């Protein structure tokens, strides 16, 4: 069980850069949509 846990940690660490990029991309898209929606309402 511990070995599986450590393997999962290693796989998560290897995906850190990709996850950060994905989170930033999604956050940017949400920000753009919110800005456009706000601009359309005003």
| pLDDT, tens digit (0-9, with 9 covering 90-100), for 1-42 | 455 555 555 655 566 667 778 889 999 999 999 999 999 988
**What's residue 14's pLDDT?**
61
**What's residue 15's pLDDT?**
60
Q: What pTM, to 2 d.p., does this model score?
A: 0.50
Q: Where are the domains of the chain?
A: 17-42
**What's residue 11's pLDDT?**
58
**What's residue 18's pLDDT?**
74
Q: How far apart are CA 7 and CA 1, in angstroms?
A: 10
Cβ neighbours, 10 Å, residue 35: 10
């Amino acid at each position: 069980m511990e070995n599986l846990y450590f393997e999962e940690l290693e796989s998560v660490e290897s995906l850190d850069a990709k996850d950060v990029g994905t989170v930033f991309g999604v956050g940017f898209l949400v920000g753009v949509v919110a800005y456009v929606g706000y601009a359309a309402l005003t």
